[in-house]
Amino acid sequence: MGAVYEAEHTGLGAAVAIKLLNEGFTTDQKAVSRFRREGRAAAAIRHENIVAVYDTGTSEQGVPFLVMELLDGESLSSFLRRERAVSPKVAAAIAVQILAGLGAAHSKKVVHRDLKPGNVLLAKCRDGSRAVKILDFGISKFYSDMESTDVTATGAVVGTPRFMAPEQARGQVDLDARVDLYAVGVLLYRMVTGRMPVAGRTQQEIIATILAGNPPTPREITSEVPPELDRVIMRALAVDRDERYQTAAEFAEDLRSAMPEVATGEPIYVSAVADSIQGSDRSPRSSGNSSVPSLVAVDRRESTRYDSPMALHQARRRQRRALTLYVSLLVVVIVGVSLVVWRVARGPMSGIPQAYSAIAGARFSGKPIRFGITRYLPRDRLLEEHDPIIRYLARRLHRRVELHIMDDYVDLAAKLEDQELDIAGLAAYAYVRATELGRHVKLVATHVTLGGSSYEGFILSRAGSGIRTLSGLRGKVFCYVNPGSSSGYLYPRALFRRSGMDPDTSFKATRFAADHLAALRALYSGACDGAAVFAGMLFYEAQEHGLPPEQFTILARTDRIPHDAYCVGEHLPAKTAKRLTEALLELAPKSETATRVLGPESRIQGFVAASDKDYDSVRKIAHYLDENRRDKRGRAATEPRKNTSR
């Protein structure tokens, strides 16, 4: 619903964050009220665990804005995506700070009502520790508003379904602070188990599960949860709100009693599980830095290298694999020595397979090769899809290979140029932009999928919405993937332009999704009236994620789009670049090697050589849109002169 910018106060020189409401919502009084409510709520609380709001106002263009403290850190959502689960001590420490912030909010008669990992930030402090900051009071409710009509209509279900308290899920209007305390219980459950206490594929199923209550206890999922913490979490999740904690202070006090470690005040250092695959195995890695930002208020003396169940599980798995490898190598040595002795006794030795000795002596050496891709699908899906490729390259090159999945269509070409990556799969549009900017990258290959050497994008609407043509999207809400996406942005805009629609002014609002699946989900849920995704999203991915393809209508298809351009940085030694290119091209589509490594059902079927000319069609689309943009600016510049001459 908006965007946040880093800014500087021109008088004081202080760095701040400015949050602006999306221009498409400036005429929506409910959206404006929610936005102003966020500023009013945060400004009223003034607590170290609540993001501070310094000022509010409206820009010259009529866009409401909030001036807030500038924070450096990551959301709890991002942290949990990486760690999956954390130790009970870390989870309790985070929850205690959340409860401190909520206690301050509740004392000012403010109920958040949408507490979830995405609205909790782990902000870095100057001493290297981290502090919890609660964000986004956009749908908060003031107790004084309980009897009045406000932006959340009576009987409306408002919030994020999986974190809703039962009374909130039922659409009750007499909500109080206990809905936030229930959400803290859900957060604790998620942090220590890596799972949500409720399940369901649709919002209706989720709400039914919430109202039924009785989820499995955290200890039933993992025995690492202490019995007392298990008791605290289950009390917080009581369906009857009278059986829950009644105040944040009561909740925090019982949590401290259950987990005395969180009361010591000393920080704990956690091992980060990297978003990469090293060598031929997916494994966590520590930064090796003793100043890793900490998560608050846990006795450091009792901390270990593995402060998350997932990190501990993976470490044990690596230890088992290492033991197995050691035993295997020992057997190989014994058999080899025995064979040599036997051969010496029988005569000249011959016929030992070369592959056998090569595998037995294989080991990784040198710096890892950093392989970057854009997150156009959910991270887990991309890890699954690229894991065989990374394993193959590591074995083929005898080098560790790290997969780096970049969010928000980061400029991968710039990272190649800055030597932060060694090879990257650039989306077609990203590659064209890189060449026009003169980036120092070398194109070496492209991949081929089940759909062939190129693909297409779709512009979709919901089946049954009555929108059957592109013009039917006029005045509606449209969802793109990202301004750097070929099929999720560039090509759809060209389709709208060709049909006589201005992609900048024809919609009530435009929104951007994290990836193609998120765009499809936004369309399915009704958050958008139309969406742009690549064709494979609808045909190969949607059904797996509970999004039946028949629930969507294809309004238009884009031109064929070249697949990603795999480029290496010029800093990579020529010999290494050559070996890397040869290894990729050995995965030729339908070859024995590609079938063995990738599998016959893999979406990526192999790699082929690519040339810059392969992306000329993308350049034409980009230039077409640029020319139209320039023409529009030119017409706008001449119109005032025409008006004054009348």
Q: What is the pLDDT of residue 545?
A: 79
Q: What is the pLDDT of residue 646?
A: 27
Mean pLDDT of 44-50: 84
Boundary of a domain, candidates 269, 292, 326: 269
Task: Name which residue leads in pLDDT, 32 or 306.
Answer: 32
d(CA 277, CA 270): 19
Active-site amino acid positions: 114
**CA 525 from centre of chain:** 19
The reply to whether 257 and 329 lie within a common domain is no
The reply to whether 476 and 544 lie within a common domain is yes
Q: What is the pLDDT of residue 22?
A: 77
Long-range pairs for 176-179 at CB < 8 Å and ≥24 separation? 176/111, 176/143, 176/241, 177/102, 177/106, 177/111, 177/247, 177/248, 178/241, 178/244, 178/245, 178/246, 179/111, 179/113, 179/241
The reply to whether 445 and 458 lie within a common domain is no
Contact 444, 568 (CB under 8 A): yes
The reply to whether 88 and 227 lie within a common domain is yes
The reply to whether 211 and 353 lie within a common domain is no
Q: Does residue 496 have a pLDDT over 60?
A: yes
Return the minimum-mean-pLDDT range out of 90-99, 432-441, 624-633: 624-633
Q: What is the pLDDT of residue 354?
A: 29
Q: Is residue 203 part of a domain?
A: yes
The reply to whether 533 and 599 lie within a common domain is no
CATH assignment at residue 513: 3.40.190.10
Mean pLDDT of 70-91: 88
Task: Name which residue leads in pLDDT, 269 or 125.
Answer: 125
d(CA 421, CA 416): 5
Q: Is residue 248 part of a domain?
A: yes
Q: Is residue 302 part of a domain?
A: no
Helix, strand, coil proportions of the chain in percent (round to 5)? 45, 20, 35
Q: What's the DSSP call for residue 367?
A: S
Structure tokens given for 506:
């024809």
The predicted-structure confidence for 338-353, as pLDDT tens digits, reads as follows: 665 554 454 433 333 3
> Where does the pLDDT of residue 431 fall: very low under 50, low under 70, confident under 90, or very high at 90 and above?
very high
- Among the ranges 65-74, 587-596, 634-643, which has the highest mean pLDDT value? 587-596
Q: What is the pLDDT of residue 217?
A: 94
d(CA 398, CA 362): 7
CATH assignment at residue 31: 3.30.200.20
Mean pLDDT of 536-540: 82
Structure tokens given for 334:
């014994």
> Where does the pLDDT of residue 638 fall: very low under 50, low under 70, confident under 90, or very high at 90 and above?
very low
The reply to whether 136 and 225 lie within a common domain is yes
The predicted-structure confidence for 346-402, as pLDDT tens digits, reads as follows: 443 333 332 222 333 345 567 899 999 988 877 888 888 899 999 999 999 988 999
The reply to whether 188 and 107 lie within a common domain is yes
Mean pLDDT of 621-632: 77
Share of the chain above pLDDT 70, in %: 78
**Three-class DSSP labels, 464-505:** CCCCCCHHHHCCCEEEECCCCCHHHHHHHHHHHHHCCCCCCC
Mean pLDDT of 140-150: 43
> Where does the pLDDT of residue 318 fall: very low under 50, low under 70, confident under 90, or very high at 90 and above?
low
Number of domains in the chain: 5
Structure tokens given for 395:
């074995």
Residue-number span of the structural domain to which 16 is assigned: 2-69
The reply to whether 241 and 95 lie within a common domain is yes
- The structure's pTM equals 0.47
Furthest C-alpha separation in the chain? 111
Q: Is residue 111 part of a domain?
A: yes
Boundary of a domain, candidates 18, 36, 69: 69
Q: Is residue 480 part of a domain?
A: yes
The reply to whether 168 and 237 lie within a common domain is yes
Sorted by sequence, the CB contacts under 8 Å of residue 638 that are 6+ apart come out as none
Q: Does residue 145 have a pLDDT over 60?
A: no
Q: Is residue 636 part of a domain?
A: no
Q: Is residue 340 part of a domain?
A: yes
Region label for 277, one of left (φ > 0), alpha (ψ between -120 and 50) or beta (otherwise):
beta
Q: Which residues of 297-307 are buried (b: 16+ CB within 10 A; e: fewer)?
A: bbbeeebeebb
Sorted by sequence, the CB contacts under 8 Å of residue 460 that are 6+ apart come out as 520, 523, 530, 531, 532, 533, 538, 552, 553, 554, 555
Q: Where are the alpha helices (DSSP H) in 300-348?
A: 309-346
The reply to whether 111 and 258 lie within a common domain is yes
Contact 246, 99 (CB under 8 A): no
The predicted-structure confidence for 321-339, as pLDDT tens digits, reads as follows: 667 677 767 777 776 666 6
CATH assignment at residue 133: 1.10.510.10
- Write phi, then psi, for 512 (nearest 5 degrees): -120, 140
Sorted by sequence, the CB contacts under 8 Å of residue 190 that are 6+ apart come out as 80, 117, 196, 197
Task: Name which residue leads in pLDDT, 412 or 14.
Answer: 412
Contact 139, 180 (CB under 8 A): no
Boundary of a domain, candidates 28, 47, 69: 69
The predicted-structure confidence for 158-212, as pLDDT tens digits, reads as follows: 457 888 899 888 878 788 889 999 999 999 999 999 999 988 777 778 888 888 8
The reply to whether 182 and 249 lie within a common domain is yes
Q: Does residue 265 have a pLDDT over 60?
A: no
Q: Is residue 570 part of a domain?
A: yes
Task: Name which residue leads in pLDDT, 507 or 450.
Answer: 507
